[in-house]
Amino acid sequence: MRNPFLATFCACLAATALGGCVPASNTPAGGAPDSGLAEVAVAADGAKTGGDATAAPDVPVIDPKIPVVDLVVDANRDGVAKFDDPGDQDHETTFDQKFGAVFLPNLDDDDQDKLEDWFDDKVNGNEDALDLAPIVVRPWPAAPEGTKGKIVIDKPELVRVWTKVDGEWGLLAGSFGSCDKPENCTTLGEFEFQADWLRTGIELRIEGKQLRMSKAADAWSGDVEIKLSVTLPDGKPAANKDAPDGTDTVKMRVAAWLLLGNLHDHDKWRSLRYGKSSSSYPFNADLDAAASQLAGKAVYETYESSSYADRWTQDFYQTGVVQMPGPGGKPQGYRMYNARPFYNAGGQTLPIIWMRKALLGQDQAILAVYKKPNSGTSYDSHGNHDLVPPYVNAKGDFHHGRIVTGSGVLPETWDWYDAQRVQGPILKLDSSWLIVGHIDEFSSYMPAKTPRGWKLMVGDNKMAKGMFEKAQADGFGKAKVFVGRQGFVNNKQASLEQTVDDVLVNKDILQWSQEADVKVAANVVKMKAEFEMNDDEIVSMPFLTEAEGSKKVAWQPGTVNCLVIGDHAMIPKPFGIIIDGVDVFEKDLLDRLGSAVHGLGSDGGGMKIKFVDDWYGYHINLGEVHCGTNPEMGPSAKLSWWDIAR
């Protein structure tokens, strides 16, 4: 019990079980609550801001003898709970596109002690206080001595309610203790207070302990109901015309987790860092060069294999954001990384364990949605989970994007995605025909200056085959692909170079490529129908495919499997047909994607393309650039998910 404020409430806990907690001094720890407010915003120090209710010019003068029974939340989502704002007052129990209060699950680690902030019974500094959502008990300056107030919370096991007394935060209700084990957790669903608190009003703050985890009927809906009751000295309800039974109830909803996609304003991406003598180092070198081009917009952060020996950075965690409305239109929240259930072959620790060390921190949270460690399959790697950029049509409003996955994802993950109520229902594609089984092997998205604002990129075997045929028809049948590329065997001593003529008589490569082509086409049919998309909104990324057993993987570097940051596209270097010193596949991508041909980029003038040599580090190991990188961003007004209420 580190917080002296709690000493008083420890007694309250026992007293509550016997019929209610009424501190002998009438105020916890002997102080008066820091209140007396007309409005409460979340200031940097976690203290109240705002004016005096009695001084507010547009508040009608009311008879001081009429009881004030008023609980206020930030229902109008301006980051402030105000008595005199109809937006807050009139919508305190609703949640729709315009109104409804939000609170954060306090899962980041602002004091950087490697524990989630909700986990201890204290507010972990000013940054942590910002993550608490305001609830205000409006002052009743003339509350007679003997008047009592009571706050009841319907889901106390999932939240914590705080107030500040004499400059110190104290826990009033909700779950107490670390709750790492049931015996370490105590739940208090209500607390009472005396007239002196009512007279000054009370500034409360609420934090959640978890996100909404499931949409099952018996799972938590994500909503919390908080009820204020006031009784007069004679025990009767302190009634007024708005609260004839002497009570006022508000509802709040826990913030949703938003999955991030290609069109978000990423400010960072990560990958593994190789030693300069490694054959994989060109991957880093090319991304370093891309980072230079993105200076001021996004940074490239790397980790060493000694920290975590998994090069598939896209796969072992998913990036996202959790946020609530904040003052001044600036949302409050943090980045949240969702862990894959298993570690890579030969790995020593689950991703979540590394993530706790490396990612959990100030304004950064981690999460494990899976039910059992080491469950799941390759489909649960996050390269198989993506976000379709925003679109709205007759079939649905997806203006915060739509989560898309391939085959076979763990049911709890799909359930959790949909439980967020913002980027679902999930679009499920067929990725079962791939060796690795990830949708990023055949689909991606880039910004475009079109009414939709983006285009769908798809792997296109047919186009690749056509490029080989054209080279042959143009007399370049002896031109080679994979020039200088070696692979697989005995320190890569086997050359993989092939001529165009070789490729075009290779019935296996061509059949496998065609099998992949019809599989991609089937997925495109589904996406076109869902997105109500025209053919000119689909951009081909050519490469041929190979197989092992009946499953497929990119034979040429899978150029669709790219990293997109703003108008920059980091595309696997194709090592395509070289004619007169020019890589035909590179030139095609530069000509089409890097120009106005497809209207890509925010200005329609094309993407800024950087080819990344991922051959040895990724391509021959069944992946490409997207698989080896993971972009992210923090809270943003563009992620104001509460404007979708489902």
Contacting residues toward other proteins, per CB under 8 A: 311-312, 315, 344-347, 378, 381, 383, 435-436, 438, 462-463, 465-466, 487-490, 494, 496, 504-508, 510-511, 513-515, 518-519, 521-522, 525, 546, 548-550, 553, 618, 621-623, 627
Q: How far is the CB of 508 from other proteins (least distance, A)?
A: 6
Q: How far is the CB of 621 from other proteins (least distance, A)?
A: 4
Q: Which is nearer to other proteins, 7 or 518 (CB)?
A: 518
Q: How far is the CB of 259 from other proteins (least distance, A)?
A: 20
Q: How far is the CB of 540 from other proteins (least distance, A)?
A: 9
Q: Which is nearer to other proteins, 193 or 476 (CB)?
A: 476
Q: Which is nearer to other proteins, 229 or 513 (CB)?
A: 513
Per DSSP, the three-state class of 523 is helix
Report the C-alpha gap between 294 and 285 in whole angstroms.
14
Q: How far is the CB of 342 from other proteins (least distance, A)?
A: 8
Tokens of 317: 């965690």
> Are 561 and 569 contacting, i.e. CB atoms less than 8 angstroms apart?
no
Per DSSP, the three-state class of 174 is strand
Q: How far is the CB of 591 from other proteins (least distance, A)?
A: 16
Q: Which amino acid, 60?
A: P
- The β-bridge relationship of strands 427-428 and 402-405 is parallel
Q: Which is nearer to other proteins, 331 or 376 (CB)?
A: 376
Per DSSP, the three-state class of 563 is strand
β-sheet bridge partners, residue 194: 148
Using CA atoms, how far residue 581 sits from 473, 587, 609, in Å, is: 18, 11, 19
Tokens of 430: 């067929």
Alpha helices (runs of H) in 325-377, residue ranges in sequence order: 351-358
Q: Which is nearer to other proteins, 169 or 575 (CB)?
A: 575
Using CA atoms, how far residue 580 sits from 254, 383, 472, 572, in Å, is: 60, 36, 14, 21
Report the C-alpha gap between 76 and 87 in whole angstroms.
5
Q: How far is the CB of 289 from other proteins (least distance, A)?
A: 24
Tokens of 56: 């507010």
Q: Which is nearer to other proteins, 98 or 528 (CB)?
A: 528
β-sheet bridge partners, residue 480: 499
The residues near 155 (Cβ < 8 Å, ≥ 6 apart) are 220, 223, 224, 225
Q: How far is the CB of 123 from other proteins (least distance, A)?
A: 42
Q: How far is the CB of 510 from other proteins (least distance, A)?
A: 4
Q: Which is nearest to 366 in space by CA: 551, 639, 116?
A: 116
Tokens of 230: 């006031």
Q: How far is the CB of 626 from other proteins (least distance, A)?
A: 11
Q: Which is nearer to other proteins, 162 or 468 (CB)?
A: 468
Q: Which is nearer to other proteins, 4 or 484 (CB)?
A: 484
Q: Which is nearer to other proteins, 3 or 514 (CB)?
A: 514
The residues near 518 (Cβ < 8 Å, ≥ 6 apart) are none
Report the C-alpha gap between 185 and 118 in whole angstroms.
12
- The β-bridge relationship of strands 364-367 and 257-259 is unpaired
Q: How far is the CB of 49 from other proteins (least distance, A)?
A: 51
The residues near 382 (Cβ < 8 Å, ≥ 6 apart) are 314, 315, 316, 317, 318, 338, 340, 630
Q: Which is nearer to other proteins, 399 or 462 (CB)?
A: 462
Q: Which is nearer to other proteins, 30 or 466 (CB)?
A: 466
Q: How far is the CB of 506 from other proteins (least distance, A)?
A: 6
Report the C-alpha gap between 433 and 384 in whole angstroms.
13
Q: How far is the CB of 617 from other proteins (least distance, A)?
A: 9
Q: Which is nearer to other proteins, 50 or 623 (CB)?
A: 623
Tokens of 97: 């596109």
Q: How far is Cα of residue 100 from the mean position of the Cα atoms in its chain?
A: 20
The end-to-end CA distance of the chain, in Å, is: 40
Q: How far is the CB of 285 from other proteins (least distance, A)?
A: 19
Q: Which is nearer to other proteins, 202 or 496 (CB)?
A: 496
Q: What is the DSSP string of 439-482?
A: GGGTEEEEEBSSSSSEEEEEEEHHHHHHHHHHHHHTT-TT-EES
Tokens of 76: 């109008």
Burial of 235 (0-12, 13-18, 19+ CB in 10 A): exposed
Q: Which is nearer to other proteins, 297 or 492 (CB)?
A: 492
Q: How far is the CB of 209 from other proteins (least distance, A)?
A: 33
> Are 342 and 376 contacting, i.e. CB atoms less than 8 angstroms apart?
yes
Tokens of 74: 């930030």
Q: How far is the CB of 334 from other proteins (least distance, A)?
A: 29
Q: Which is nearer to other proteins, 228 or 563 (CB)?
A: 563
Q: Helix and strand tally (H, E) in the chain?
A: 12, 37
Tokens of 289: 């060069």
Q: Which is nearer to other proteins, 181 or 507 (CB)?
A: 507
